[in-house]
Amino acid sequence: MVQGLLTTSVGSFPKPAYLLEARNRFAKGAISAEELNQLEKQATREWITFQEEIGVDILVDGEMYRGDMATYFAERLDGFSISGLVRSYGNRYYRKPVAVGDIRWREPISVEMFKYAQSLTDKPVKGMLTGPYTMMDWSFNEHYANREALAMALAEAIHQEAVELENAGAKYIQIDEPAVSTRPEELEIAIKAMAVVTNGLRAHTLTHICYGDFEKIYPRMLDIPVDQIDLEMANSHYDLLDTFRKAKFTKAIGLGVVDVHSHVMESVDEVADGIRRTLEVIPASQIYVDPDCGLKTRTVEEAKDKMRVVVEATKRVKAELN
């Protein structure tokens, strides 16, 4: 039996219509936090059931309780206030965290939902955190002397949350750093901050980095102190494989094999081919197969179809190797 080629997903799944509606009603004060929480759990349960049915190996809770991935954590840490609506890429609006005091971990943030999701399945569920570099990059800083100081304060707080997740039984802890590829000159800050987050953890640690200027951060990027780096390979037609031929990819890789920005459904053939091409460069034992990024921008049906393709293609390649 071939070792490796475990399937997973990056983190977010689309919220079902009833939950989107409930979030709006909650924002208007029409339903209670407890009512919203019950529906978030219902949606989480549905996604866990789906992942089990199609045979995913490492599950996620789907992030049914999150709006923005930085703001969600900032709202629950000391030292942040939240801005009014700010425009980000395209026409997406969100509330941006503002560091106004010393950033401190106060109480568990993600642990309750992790425990709930893990209680529904015997498969491992990933603990999901937003990394200190990205939290810093997506916040306004009105308190710390510079960007590095804010990132390092965040790293201490996120480390505490990671320890709580590990104590709650998380075997995999993902610390997302989508922003790392956007400012190559700050890679050293991201590395230093991640060292604080993962210090002493026994869980398998990984980070997701969105597609960007890898020419400038590779291979130094491999020094980010995690066991696995999860990358978007499909939307760039696996062009990073050429980079990995020149300088070996030394960690486990989360191999993104379906484009999350496109309605177009990849075929099992083309995804299997992408996995085979990767096997020429990285051994199966080091490869985890997943979509490029979070699937929350797709419809529920598209997200499910993309996950099915990920699992089917991986099964096919595994069968060939066996």
Structure tokens that stand for 248 in this block: 């070996």
The sheet carrying 93-104 orders its strands as 78-87, 93-104, 140-141
Contacts of 74 (CB under 8 A, 6+ apart): 80, 82, 97, 135, 139
- Among residues 210 and 272, whose Cβ is nearest to Zn ion? 210
The distance of closest approach from Cβ of residue 232 to Zn ion in the complex, given in angstroms and rounded to an integer, is: 5
Q: Which residues 4-63 are close enough to bind Zn ion by CB under 5 A?
A: none
Radius of gyration over every alpha carbon of the chain, rounded to an integer in angstroms = 19
The distance of closest approach from Cβ of residue 130 to Zn ion in the complex, given in angstroms and rounded to an integer, is: 12
The distance of closest approach from Cβ of residue 293 to Zn ion in the complex, given in angstroms and rounded to an integer, is: 3
Q: Which residues 103-162 are close enough to bind Zn ion by CB under 5 A?
A: none
- Among residues 151 and 210, whose Cβ is nearest to Zn ion? 210
Contacts of 78 (CB under 8 A, 6+ apart): 101, 102, 103, 104, 105, 106
The distance of closest approach from Cβ of residue 181 to Zn ion in the complex, given in angstroms and rounded to an integer, is: 9
**Given the rule CB under 5 A, which of 47-55, 86-94, 150-158, 170-178 is the region that contacts Zn ion?**
170-178
Q: What is the CA 311 to chain-centroid distance, rounded?
A: 18
Q: Is 293 in the site for Zn ion (CB under 5 A)?
A: yes
The distance of closest approach from Cβ of residue 252 to Zn ion in the complex, given in angstroms and rounded to an integer, is: 17
- Among residues 22 and 233, whose Cβ is nearest to Zn ion? 233
Residue nearest to Zn ion (CB): 293
- Among residues 79 and 254, whose Cβ is nearest to Zn ion? 254
The distance of closest approach from Cβ of residue 135 to Zn ion in the complex, given in angstroms and rounded to an integer, is: 16
**Given the rule CB under 5 A, which of 60-68, 98-106, 136-144, 174-182 is the region that contacts Zn ion?**
174-182
Residue-wise DSSP of 50-115: HHHHHT-SSB--B-TT-SSHHHHHHTTSEEEEEEEEEE-STT-EEEEEEEEEEEE--S-SSHHHHH
- Among residues 210 and 311, whose Cβ is nearest to Zn ion? 210
d(CA 318, CA 322): 6
Contact between 227 and 203 under an 8 Å Cβ cutoff? The reply is no
- Among residues 150 and 210, whose Cβ is nearest to Zn ion? 210
Residues in the interface with Zn ion (CB under 5 A) total: 3
The distance of closest approach from Cβ of residue 231 to Zn ion in the complex, given in angstroms and rounded to an integer, is: 8
Taking alpha carbons only, the member of 237, 103, 64, 220 closest to residue 229 is 220
Single residue of 48, 64, 210, 226 touching Zn ion by CB under 5 A: 210
The distance of closest approach from Cβ of residue 258 to Zn ion in the complex, given in angstroms and rounded to an integer, is: 12
Structure tokens that stand for 247 in this block: 């300088």
**Given the rule CB under 5 A, which of 47-55, 130-138, 164-172, 204-212 is the region that contacts Zn ion?**
204-212
d(CA 79, CA 95): 16
Contact between 305 and 22 under an 8 Å Cβ cutoff? The reply is no
d(CA 89, CA 93): 9
- Among residues 7 and 207, whose Cβ is nearest to Zn ion? 207
Q: Is 295 in the site for Zn ion (CB under 5 A)?
A: no
Binding mask 222-241 for Zn ion (x = CB under 5 A): --------------------
| Residue 18 CB coordination number (10 Å) | 11
Residues at the interface with Zn ion (CB under 5 A): 178, 210, 293
